[in-house]
Structures are given as structure tokens and as C-alpha cells.
Structure 1
Amino acid sequence: MNVHDILQNPDEHVRFAAYLDKLEHVADANEVSLVSRVLSDPDQTMAQSAVLRHLDRRAAGLYPGPAYEGWAQAMTQATIDHPFLAQRLREWSLFRAVTLKLPWQPEDLLASSNWLQLKTAAGTNSEAIEILAKAGRTKRIRNTATIGHNHRSES
């Protein structure tokens, strides 16, 4: 089933599942084109949700390696008209910087979404964890960071 056939199905649940399947199996060379096609679906909430899952899955697998940078740039172009998706990509890049101990700014982390703060609070960067233990946006984030910080102190 190609994307044109998927778009013809009136059931957004069927389209969502079909998009996820296509995105999971897309060749790297066709990924930008497929993401753009999915984002052309009239049901923008569903389309962006499918692409978000794809971005999270791909970024989780790519962020530690050198291929991440080029992929993130390509995906940023494909999602440029979708602020939430573009923000998620920026946050994956910040997560990458924090995790790999590349340069990053504490104020960027503190201004980030609950999703990124919680993901970072459960991570391994002591500096980021200390920042989030003191100033994370929610009690859950601060608690997760405090537990991680205390666990590291005991080790």
C-alpha cells in the first residue's frame, strides 16, 4: 500500500497504523519525502502524532552516533511548518548534547518541555541532574532528578 492509497482510507486509525508501518520501514533516502507526505494528511493531529512517534524512535536510535546531525537537519526541514515537531527535534539535539557531554546551556534545559526535563532527569549527566533537582519544572521532574542524584552519590 502506498501513501496515496493510505490517504484514500477514511478511517484515521487505519491511516495512523499504516503510516507507522511505512515510517518504520522507510529507506533513509526516502524518509524526508515520506514524512512530508504523512504531514500532508488532512487530519493534522493524527499525522503529526505518527511523525512524532517516528522522530522519537529514530532519534533514540541515532543520537549517540555521528549520523544524528545530518538526520536531524533533514527532519528539521521536513517538519519546519510544524512547530511542535520542530521543537521535539531541537529537544532531541539538546538531550544529545547533555548526554554526550557536548556544549549546552542550563537555561535551554530549564526552558525545555516536561518531556525533555524528565528524560534528562533520569539520565546520566550529573550537572543536568543537579540543575533539574533544584529547578525542574514539576515536582515529578525534581524528584526524579533528586533520586538520580542521591543514587549517584551513594555509588
Structure 2
Amino acid sequence: MNRHDAPCEEPAEHLRFAAHLNEPRQVADLDEAAPVGSVLTDRDQAMARSAVLRHLDRRAGALHLGPASDRWAESMAQATAGDPFLAARLREWTLLRAIALRRSWDRDAPLASSGWLQREAAAASDAEAVELLAEHGRTRRTRTTARARLEHGQPH
């Protein structure tokens, strides 16, 4: 039997990662804080953070403009409070929501945020955010995205 004939066993960390991605999905909507907190106790913090980040992005994207988003974000803020990166990503989703819904937001916040937030906000429908990022976005990619948004579909 050569190495190609042997059954492939999934490495333990891959199985744990898949389980961590699935854990928050096993509870009722908006009751994800406990499973997320549990995932963050994994000894492999990089893997745990990655699984929770994927979950945050998936759920925040799905809830982004809906009425349940604020309550969900509050519960996730408590669950991720011990991890500065995850807490920052959650704050950025909250800022992106404010921009998309044309709520009040701090003009300096997008400029102090990550490239991810700037790219997302550059494609938004809020004219103030798009104009700000077309001029002052951190990267050429962000500025180009914002300028294209202004040229091809002026936000109102």
C-alpha cells in the first residue's frame, strides 16, 4: 500500500475548527454569546479567533441592516470583550451599519479603522463616507473604490 492508498485522516485542529464554526449555529438566533465565548477558550487562540471572526462576519453581514443587529452586537461585544481584534471588528460592523443606515457617525472613525472597514464603507450609499474615503482612504484600493462609487452611482 503506498501513501496514495492510505485513508486520509483529518488533522485534529481541522476538526476542532469545523466544530468551532458550527457551535454558534447550533443555538437559537441571537443566543450565540455562550458558544462564542466557549470557542474563545480553545488553547489555539489563532484558530479560535479565526473561527469567531468568520462567525462574526457571517452573522453581522446577515443581520447588518435588520432590527436584530443592535441586540446581537451587544451580546457579541460581551462575548468578545477579551479579544481586542474581535472587539474592534464588531465595532467596525456597528460603524458600517450606522453609515449604511445613514445614522450619526464620527467622521474620524472610518479613517482610524481597518482597511476592511474602509473598503466596505467605500462601497456604501452614504455620500459623506464615500467622499471622505475617496479623498483620505488609507489605500489606493479604497480610494479607487470610493471614487468609482462616486462616478458610477453617486450616493445620495
TM-score norm. by structure 2 comes to: 0.88
Q: Give the 3-state SS of the residue equivalent to 1:106 in structure 2.
A: coil
The residue aligned with 2:28 is 27
Per-residue CA deviations over 1:39-93 (Å, capped at 9, x if unaligned) read 0000000001000100111111112122111111110001000000000010000
Which segments of 5 or more consecutive residues in structure 1 lack a partner in the other structure? 1-8
Q: Give the 3-state SS of the residue equivalent to 2:42 in structure 1.
A: coil
2:99–2:124 contact (8 Å) kept in structure 1: no
| Distance in 1 between residues matched to 2:139 and 2:25, nearest whole Å | 33
Q: Which amino acid aligns with 1:85?
A: L
| Distance in 1 between residues matched to 2:106 and 2:135, nearest whole Å | 16
1:143 aligns with 2:144: yes
| Distance in 2 between residues matched to 1:101 and 1:150, nearest whole Å | 20
The residue aligned with 1:68 is 69
What is the CA distance between 1:152 and its match in structure 2? 1.9
The residue aligned with 1:5 is none
| Distance in 2 between residues matched to 1:126 and 1:118, nearest whole Å | 14
Decide which structure has greater helix share.
1
When residues 147 and 29 of structure 1 are mapped into structure 2, their CA distance, relative to the original with a 3 A threshold, is closer
Query: How much identity, in percent, do the aligned residues show?
Result: 53
What is the CA distance between 1:28 and its match in structure 2? 3.0
When residues 58 and 29 of structure 1 are mapped into structure 2, their CA distance, relative to the original with a 3 A threshold, is closer
Number of matched pairs = 145
What is the CA distance between 1:22 and its match in structure 2? 2.3
Per-residue CA deviations over 1:92-114 (Å, capped at 9, x if unaligned) read 00000000000001101111100
Cα RMSD for the two superposed structures: 1.6
What is the CA distance between 1:121 and its match in structure 2? 0.7
Greater than 6 Å deviation, 4+ residue runs: none
TM-score norm. by structure 1 comes to: 0.88
Which segments of 5 or more consecutive residues in structure 2 lack a partner in the other structure? 1-9
Q: Which amino acid aligns with 1:17?
A: A
1:46 aligns with 2:57: no
2:98–2:105 contact (8 Å) kept in structure 1: yes
| Distance in 2 between residues matched to 1:10 and 1:61, nearest whole Å | 31
Q: Which amino acid aligns with 1:24?
A: R
What is the CA distance between 1:26 and its match in structure 2? 2.6
